[in-house]
Homo-oligomer: A and B are copies of this chain.
Amino acid sequence: MVVSLRLSFLTSLFVSPATTSITYLSRRSIAIIRRRHHQCFLQQPLRTALFAAQSTAAETEDRVDSSKNRVQDQAITPRSQDFNAWYLDVIAHAELADYGPVRGTMVIRPYGYAIWEAIQEYLNVKFKETGHSNMYFPQFIPYSFIEKEASHVEGFSPELALVTFGGGKELEEKLVVRPTSETIVNHMFTQWIHSYRDLPLMVNQWANVTRWEMRTKPFVRTLEFLWQEGHTAHATPEEAEKEAIQMIEIYTKFAYEQAAIPVIAGRKSKVETFAGATRTYTIEAMMGDRKALQAGTSHNLGQNFSRAFGTQFTDESGQRQHVWQTSWAISTRFVGGIIMSHGDDAGLMLPPKVAPLQVIVVPIWKKDNERIGVLNAATSVKDVLQAAGIKVKLDDSDQRTPGWKFNFWEMKGVPLRIEIGPRDVSSGSVVISRRDVPGKQGKVFGVSMEPSILEVYVKDKLDEIQTSLLGKATSFRDSHIVDVSSYDELKSAISQGKWARGPWSASDEDELKVKEETGATIRCFPFEQPQGSKRCLMTGNLAAEVAIFAKSY
């Protein structure tokens, strides 16, 4: 009988039940195949190899399944060993995403998409609370639009996908598949904005965007990705600035309170500012490998686009003025940030507030006469928690041992596990294990099954985990940021894989030199600045602010 592991065939294929070292070698070959697969999927020989491999998956799975108690997570490359391989393994094993047939595209699978949905649900409410309306702009943009704003076309033209045929005919003007929507937004705004009474105009859209990236990585950088893009127009520069700041603050709050990621919010350097913006604000997150991830941005566009498109309004004194604008976005990249912030060698670790599943209930029985009692108790525990609004699942499958299930749901990052065996049924209690505290330390025995007690206990525990993940990530972040006062110190910090924070007032050229020589870029000038006068680490001149330098995704 064939037993499916429900794992990506690519990975399950190479899982050998033999020894750990062989498994590890196999995992590396997968990573290599994957990378090549990713970059040149359409080459025929590789496709054939992949499909041929697939047809033997069934047998291999049989072998894997024969050792029913195999520890699932051995299949995942240890994070400490190879962070990138670990990341790709987690994505495959936890069924977060898969590669699409076109190079660089990604299929977001239900478990990964549910994390994105948690992000959407939170932000969508916040956007509406702050006066933004959702709407939808077409994704096809006339090529001429992109050319209107000089730095915008410079920034985006190398990454464009172009539609040149439609309905069987070659098009007169080629169309850009939106890489971002500032141009088409302004085209429409010129038709909707007439007087100061039409301002502020504050809209948002949830949409897909396309950027022809050469080096892609699931969630972090894909040819097509999902995001929200907010676009606003205001009567004054002060209002636009306030809006840009408000939105980066909403993102910051989301990162801390929902995703348990202690991002550092700040302003981008001129070199790193969005193509077409006057100022870009960013939240920068430290991943488990200490690389920085730009996790969300909010742009003060000034009048750059309104001048290029003629987006004007008549002010209270009857004068025609160009509007002041902002745009801001968070994308499916954030899902990658969550994976890389909290995961460990056992796999994914999800903050309760963004977890598709918060609690997994695993029933345990040995004898057949125990089965019904245990399953009934487990079902009622699940029902109680579900009714309390907790995202809970009962894994009652007969196919797997409890040990296998423990490992599987740990790998999937479920924050809490409830175990129920025959003895628990008799005593009316359950065993509760935390995903974030391994072994016995994270296990509590004898928690009452009584609904009101259990519900409160589980909710408290989930809050505790949420807080604990943020605390852990904050310590990790802080222990890897080094204050530097010279370029040598900066180079040393970066070469140790850390973030360097130091006073900076040097030129764009100096900034580019740092990038070339160390691989690090200015991630931001943080909003939180140390007091007192400072001297630029590069030039020794006075510096108003410290900047954070780091290697980044």
Contacts and interface: CB of A to CB of B under 8 A. Distances in A.
Interface in A107-132: 107-110, 112-114, 116-117
A8 B100 contact: no
Contacts of A6: 192, 197-198
A158 B162 contact: no
Contacts of A223: 138, 140, 166
Contacts of A54: 190-191
A214 interface: yes
Interface in A198-231: 198, 203, 207-208, 210, 212-214, 223-224, 226
Contact of A100 (B3, B114, B137): B137
A20 interface: no
Contacts of A168: 157-158, 160, 212
A4 B161 contact: no
A109 B139 CA distance: 15
Interface string A59-90: 00100000000000000000000000000000
Contacts of A369: none
A456 interface: no
Nearest to A193: B4
Nearest to A184: B101
Nearest to A316: B1
Contacts of A117: 134
Contact of A195 (B58, B157, B166, B203): B58
Contact of A57 (B109, B112, B184, B194): B194
Contacts of A175: 102, 161
Contacts of A162: 163-166
Interface string A306-325: 00000000101010000000
- Of the listed residues A188, A192, A203, the one surrounded by the most CB atoms of chain B closer than 10 A to its CB is A192
A61 B194 CA distance: 10
Chain A contact residues: over half helix, strand or loop, or mixed?
A: mixed
A167 interface: yes
Contacts of A102: 138, 140-142, 175
Which 9 A-B residue pairs are closest in the complex by CB-CB distance? Answer: A167-B212, A110-B133, A105-B138, A100-B138, A162-B165, A108-B136, A4-B195, A4-B194, A166-B212
Contacts of A108: 135-136
A197 B102 CA distance: 28
A106 interface: yes
A187 B44 CA distance: 15
Interface string A331-364: 0000000000000000000000000000000000
18 contacts: A2-B314, A4-B197, A9-B191, A9-B194, A57-B194, A58-B194, A100-B184, A102-B138, A105-B140, A109-B135, A110-B133, A110-B135, A112-B135, A136-B226, A138-B224, A140-B224, A167-B212, A208-B208
A4 B114 CA distance: 43
Contacts of A396: none
A208 B167 contact: no
A203 B110 contact: yes
A426 interface: no
Interface of A: 1-4, 6, 8-9, 42, 54, 57-58, 61, 98, 100-102, 105-110, 112-114, 116-117, 133-142, 145, 157-168, 172-175, 177, 184, 187-188, 190-192, 194-195, 197-198, 203, 207-208, 210, 212-214, 223-224, 226, 314, 316, 318, 399
A107 B137 contact: yes
A117 B101 CA distance: 31
A318 B1 CA distance: 6
A132 B429 CA distance: 33
Contact of A158 (B106, B167, B207, B314): B167
* Copies of this polypeptide in the complex: 2
Given A163-B177, A167-B212, A113 B101 contact: no
A113 B134 contact: yes
Given A8-B191, A195-B3, A167 B163 contact: no
B161 A166 contact: yes
Given A106-B138, A107-B138, A198-B4, A163 B166 contact: no
Contact of A42 (B138, B167, B172, B399): B172
- Of the listed residues A8, A142, A166, the one surrounded by the most CB atoms of chain B closer than 10 A to its CB is A166
A210 B316 CA distance: 42
Given A145-B101, A161-B165, A167-B158, A173 B113 contact: no
A173 to B, nearest CB: 6
- Of the listed residues A4, A98, A141, the one surrounded by the most CB atoms of chain B closer than 10 A to its CB is A4
A42 to B, nearest CB: 6
A101 B194 contact: no
B107 A136 contact: yes
A49 to B, nearest CB: 14
Contacts of A166: 160-162, 212, 223
Contact of A191 (B98, B112, B114, B165): B98
A188 B173 CA distance: 34
A448 B2 CA distance: 69
Contacts of A214: 167
A463 B100 CA distance: 46
